[in-house]
Structure formats: C-alpha cells, structure tokens
Chain A
Amino acid sequence: MSATTQTSGRFQQGLSRLLQSRVAEVLSYPHGVDRYLEVFNPLWSATEVRARVDAVQHLTADSVTLTLKPNSNWEGFVPGQFVQLTVSINGKRHTRCYSPANSLHRKDGCIELTAKTHADGFVSRYLRDAVRVGDVVTLSPAGGEFALPAQRPERVLLISGGSGITPVMSMLRTLCDEGFKGEITFLHYANRADDMIYAQEVADIASRHENVTLLRAFPEKSEGGELTGLFSSEHLFKSVPDFAQATTFLCGPPPMMAVVEKVWEEQGITDRLHKEQFTLASAAVDEDESAEGEVRFARSETLVTNDGKTLLEQAEAAGLNPESGCRMGICYSCTCKKTAGKVRDLRTGEITSGDEEDIQLCVSVPVGTVTLDI
C-alpha cells in the first residue's frame, strides 16, 4: 500500500517537475502548459489551485456549504485563514474570500466553505442557488494572519457572529480532533436559532467534549440559547469570567467586533485578541453627479482630488504617463487594474462594482474615491 503511494507520489512529483520545466514552457509558448492541460481536464493545472465541487449542502435556509476537492496544487491552510474563491457567473468571473470551516485533520483532503447569503450577496446567492456537484472552481492559496498558532494556546475563547463562525469552526474542529485538553469556550451570536450555521454539530461537539463550553446568544429569549441579546461585556464577565486569561479569536460583523474590541482595550489585553476583519462593500455611492473623493495612483504614490474628469485625464493632469491610445474606449491600450472604488463607464453610464478589476481609463470616471494600480 505504502509502496504504491510512494511510487505514485514520485510519479506525480516527476510529472509536475516536467510540466514546470523550461522545455515544457518553450513547447507550450506563448500560452503555457496549463492552457493545454485544462483542455483534457478542467482540474488539471501545473500551478493553479482548482477544485471540484463534491457536495452542496444547505445547513440553514440562507446558507450553502460546499465541499471542495482541490487538485494537487493545494498546499493546505491553517485554521482561521481564508481562501479566495473564483466562480464565473453569467460569463463574468467573481472572486470572494471564504474561510474553510473544516478540520485540519480531515481525512479526504476536502475543503469545506460555507457562505451565508444576504440581500446584496450576488456571489453567495449564486453559490447557494446555482453551484452543482461536479462544477470546477478556482481557489487561491490560503492566506491571512488570523490563524491558530502552531503552539496551541492553553485556554481558547472563540467569539463569532453570523457567518463569522466559519474560521472559528475550523479551529474548534481541529482542536477537538487533536484531543486538545485545554478549556474552549465557543461564544456565538446569531439572529435566530434557525439561522445558526453548524448549530447541530457545535452542540454535538460540546456534549462529547467536556472541555468545550457552548454559549449561544440570540436576540430573543424565546429562541433558546444560553445568553440573550447582542454582545455586551456582561455576557463576558458573567459567562466567561476568565476571558482575560484566554487566547481569543474573534470573527463577525464590524459593529459587533468593535464592541468586543473595546472590552479588550479597556482591559489592556489587546495582544490576547486575534481578529478577522470582514471587509464589507464600502458605503453606498452617492448617485448625484458631483465629483467627490480622491484618485489614488498606488504604484506612483500620487494622490489627487477627484475632479470628475476621466481617469486618464486625471492621471495625465497629475503628471503621470499611463499608456493610452484612442481615448474613446476601443483600443484597450489604457486598460489598468483598479484595486478599489467604483467608476462610471462614460459610454453606458453603468457603475462598476467596488471590486478589483481591469478598467479602461479613458472612458471611466471615478465615483467617489478610486485606487488604481499605476
């Protein structure tokens, strides 16, 4: 058994070295090896992490849990970290960050991502409604500072709100699989008991492991739960009196996180609090025509006040010399990466999303503050 695994492992290593060799590069020039591999199997790639959807579950009405089987380019993750998931929706690629919720010690090598859908959650809605078993998605390598330290802490407090449960779920599952002996308190805030993702599993874990204390908090007492209401310092002082001694991992909506952080600041123990910032879409853009905000040219470290002209004109006025051509949106010479902010297409009046994407400078007018990679 182990001999076969070793041979196939060596074969795979050799193959991957061959595919990444200089000869393969020249033979497949200019497209690259991947562009030929993916013709035979969309999962095959010499470098990119791609994964097949193995299962689609709906643990609550407004969430979806995807079990993904990654190809051999996946190098694993640390509980708490996130991956960028890229899917194609109506022809257009969209990328979002999700934290794997599975245990590090999962046997089948699969990754579990859970997304909660909300009203303007374009991608999460697609994941819930349209993703099917067998689909292939693209992943980034795992990243992020929010991670369970290799040297496991003695006392662990996990605080989460809503879909912020996923990274701490991974921590809880991993620690329990490892036979972690220290105390773990799992404090979770949800709007309703029915909306709590992983409710059943967390309850099971708490009943099976004596060192795990489960504290569920819902706004209404009628929902059950060990606590009632939004996060407050009373919850902590009453139910987790030793929280100052714990290493705490926090992930949830920004308002909740702000309140939690304040308690740790007051106690002067912010170094014991690890947190994952959920980046939400910036505030809704004012639709009226007046120019606001600023244009930030990140690479050239230049900043100008948005004067409402096209980004190309503003860049040139700022003394920059981005490549450009037709100045009417047809030649794509001036295409560059926008890393943040929204722009309006002069031709269609359409306003883009605030995501990172390529835009044409000559026909794009900033709507509020915009950051460009030039």
Chain B
Amino acid sequence: MSIYSTLTPEQFDAIGQELDAIRNREVADLGEKDEKYIRNLIKRQRQLEVAGRGLLMAGFLPPAWLAGVACLSAAKILDNMEIGHNVMHGQYDWMGDRKISSQQFDWDNTCTNTAWKHTHNFEHHTFTNVLDKDHDIGYGILRMSEDQEWEPRFVLNPILAVILSTFFQHFVAIQSLKLEDYLIYKTKTKEELKEEFKPTWKKMRKQLVKDYLLFPALAGPFAPFVFAGNVTANLARNLWASQVIFNGHFPEEVEQFPESVLENETRGHWYVRQMLGSANFEGGRLMHIMSGNLSFQIEHHLFPDIPAHRYAAISPEVKAICEKYGLPYNTGSFMRQSLSVWKRIVKLSLPGKSKPAGKGLRGKVVSLIGEPKSATRQAA
C-alpha cells in the first residue's frame, strides 16, 4: 500500500505548510545572484554554439569535427535543459526581461514554446503521474505503468522507447497532437490533426532548414561534414534529454496515480503526489547543470518555477521533510536510475501487473508510521 493512503489530512496540511515556507523563502530571496547565473549560462551556451558551428565548418579535419560536435551537443543540451526548460517554466519571469521569460523564450528544439508549456508545464506538472492526464506517461506510445492497460502494440515497448529517445525532439514537438487519438483510438479526425500540426510544422521546418540545409550549405564542398555533425549533435541531445526525463519519473519505485486522486486535492496532497511521482539522480555540479538540474526532479516538481540552480541547496530540507513524514525520497546514481527505467520498459512490454509492492524505502517507511491512519483517499 502506498504511503499516500496512510497519511492523515493533518499531515498533508503540515507537509504543505512546510514546503510552502521553503517556497516563500526562496521567492523572497530571488535577485541578482539568479540573474547573474542565468545570464552567464546563456553566454556560455552561445559561445559553445558559435564555437561548435565554427569548428564544424572545418569538419573535414577529424579533430575539428569531433570538437565541433562536442561543443554543439553541449550547446543544444544547455539550451534545451538548464536554459530553455527552466526559463519556459517561468523561473526567471520575475526579472522582467521578456527575452528570458516564459512568454517569449524559444529554444533550439522543434517543439514550440506554446505546445511545450501546454503539455509540460500544465499537463505534466499539474497532473504529474496521473494516468490518462499526464501524457508524459509513455507519450502515447509506450506502456510505462502497470495500470495502463496492456495492448498488443506494447510488445514493441523497448524498441519504441529507443525510437522515442532517438527522435525525442520531434516526439516532444508533436506530443500535443496526441497522435495516438488519431492512429489508434480514432477519436480525432485527420482534419483536426492537420490544423493542430500547422504551428509545429512551421517551427520544425525552420529548425530543419537551419541544421540540415543552411549551415551545411555555408560549408560549400564540406557540407556533408556539417550535416553529419548536426545530425550527431541533435541525436546526442535527444538521447541525453530523454534519459534524464525518464529517470525523473520512471524508475521502478516511482508511483503513478489514478484520476480519482485529483478530486478535491489539497496543496498538501499535490505536493506529496509530486514527491512520490518523481526521482532524483546523483552527480557533480556539471552533471546537474547538463541535466538542467532535473537531477533534482523531486525539488523541481515541488517548485517548478523556482530557479533550478537553487534545488541543490533546497534538497536536504526536502529530504528531511520526507524522512519526518515517512515519505520516500527516491534517488540513486544516474546508472542505477537508468537501468531501473529500462527494466520497467522491458517488463511492461508484457501483460499483467508486476509492480513490486512495499519494497525498499517504502517498506521501511510504512513501518515508521506504525498504525495506518484512516485513509482519506485511495491511491493505486
């Protein structure tokens, strides 16, 4: 049984208040430090990008090609994660600089700002790990939860997961179209789909023209080297970003919830759901920056609009709250979390429920609380 159903309403409220206190403190402290951090990071990202694109122009020399790909991959990862993802969360809206705001920022990715904010900021962050509401559970392609009914197509789960990761930016770009509604469930017409695809296609086209036509053309006879370099950099970003995101929500112990939890959900309940539905991974400063601090996925889901570079400092407090109330704080090495995710993907390709119950942290935790109090709501 999940800890979610054993906490009392008073405990939910108390958790809510403690986390709100952290939030308010951090918001009050926003200032020059955050501005310096993000501006400096943007500067580094642009430098890496210019260097990467420049080096690829000399891509016929193998060392230049390799260095160019490395720089451009790093630039795209920084742009999408620590900058783009976080800026579009509104983490820097308070600065009043529209160029670094959730309203105007756009990223080096085929997904549009508007579509991203809808599927990610709204659907995924509000309904985190709620089946049928959080489209990130499998992106309409994969079976990522025991409670998702098995269909024959899910036999291909591992293969589809590899394809999803490889073309991650494009899948994210079309995520808001809910393609499965047209292809599989037939609840959407072709015309509706076409109309919805328009803005995305406009952006996709620009990104593709830039990376695969214009920059290669600038290199003249060496166009193939630039083309190959850009393909590789986009691939590196896709694989890295998808793995970081999978690690945040799909290690085996992370919970999913039925839609019923949303009824009359309080702030405290919402916070607890975020903590149960997210997982961190460990690493050094560089690892955190390159993952957009989504290595602190738990903190990010509690405070999605607080500048992500602050999560590391907040995490001991969140951990302490988890300990106090017997909630799991799911973390592990990048390798451990990745393996756990892929194990889940493979397991779920087969029918049936095979969720490990009361294992690990959660087993320990439940016993700490002792007598389960009257459950106010039922969770999976």
Contact = CB atoms under 8 A, between A and B. Distances in A.
Contacts of B43: 39
Interface in B21-44: 23-24, 27-28, 30-35, 42-43
B163 interface: no
B182 interface: no
Interface residues of A, number: 29
Contacts of A284: none
Given A91-B95, A330-B304, A26 B209 contact: yes
Interface in B173-230: 203, 206-207, 209-210, 214-215, 218
Most B CB within 10 A of own CB, among A88, A91, A93: A91
A335 B103 contact: yes
Nearest to B270: A328
B90 A335 contact: yes
Contact of B305 (A30, A90, A329): A329
B371 interface: no
B210 A27 contact: yes
A325 B102 contact: no
Contact of B30 (A31, A91, A330): A91
Contact of A331 (B35, B101, B117): B117
A333 interface: yes
Interface size class of B (residues with CB under 8 A): 35 or more
A90 B88 CA distance: 21
A66 B274 CA distance: 50
Contacts of B270: 328
A30 B76 CA distance: 12
Contacts of A357: 96
Contacts of A333: 117-118, 121-122
B210 A26 contact: yes
Interface in A346-369: 347-348, 357-358, 360
B83 to A, nearest CB: 10
A294 to B, nearest CB: 25
A237 interface: no
Contacts of A77: none
Nearest to A138: B97
A39 B305 contact: no
A332 B96 contact: no
A326 interface: yes
Contact of A330 (B49, B107, B121): B121
Interface in B63-108: 88-90, 93-99, 101-103, 106-108
A332 B32 contact: no
B369 interface: no
B31 A90 contact: yes
Contacts of B122: 325-326, 331, 333
A294 B103 CA distance: 26
Nearest to B267: A328
B46 interface: yes
A88 B35 contact: yes
Interface string A188-214: 000000000000000000000000000
Interface in B215-272: 215, 218, 267, 270
Contact of A30 (B42, B94, B101, B107): B107
B46 A358 contact: no
Contacts of A328: 126, 267, 270
B210 A36 contact: no
B156 interface: no
B354 interface: no
Given A90-B31, A94-B96, A332-B305, A39 B118 contact: no
B333 interface: no
Contacts of B32: 90-91
B47 interface: yes
A237 to B, nearest CB: 48
B34 to A, nearest CB: 6
Contact of A31 (B101, B106, B305): B106
B18 to A, nearest CB: 15
B125 interface: yes
B206 A358 contact: no
A332 B214 contact: no
Interface in B99-142: 99, 101-103, 106-108, 117-118, 121-122, 125-126
B125 A330 contact: yes
Contacts of A332: 88-90, 93, 102-103, 117, 121, 305
Contacts of A258: none
A282 to B, nearest CB: 20
A23 interface: yes
Nearest to B49: A36
B346 interface: no
B214 A27 contact: yes
A10 interface: no
A335 B102 CA distance: 8
A92 interface: yes
B322 interface: no
B30 A331 contact: no
A30 B206 contact: yes
Interface in B274-308: 304-305
Contacts of B218: 27
A328 B274 CA distance: 14
Interface in A275-300: none
A92 B93 CA distance: 9
Given A91-B31, A331-B122, A30 B46 contact: no
Interface in A47-80: none
A331 B126 contact: yes
Contacts of A39: 43, 46-47, 50
A360 B101 CA distance: 12
B39 to A, nearest CB: 9
A30, A31, A329: residue with the most chain B Cβ atoms closer than 10 Å: A30
Nearest to B20: A347
Contacts of A360: 90
Interface of A: 23, 26-27, 29-31, 35-36, 39, 88, 90-94, 325-326, 328-333, 335, 347-348, 357-358, 360
11 contacts: A26-B206, A31-B46, A31-B108, A36-B46, A36-B50, A39-B46, A91-B32, A91-B94, A347-B20, A348-B27, A348-B28
Given A27-B215, A325-B122, 11 more contacts: A23-B214, A29-B210, A31-B106, A91-B30, A92-B95, A330-B125, A331-B126, A332-B102, A333-B117, A348-B24, A358-B101
Which 7 pairs show the lowest CB-CB distances between chains A and B?
A325-B122, A91-B35, A30-B106, A332-B90, A93-B96, A331-B121, A326-B126
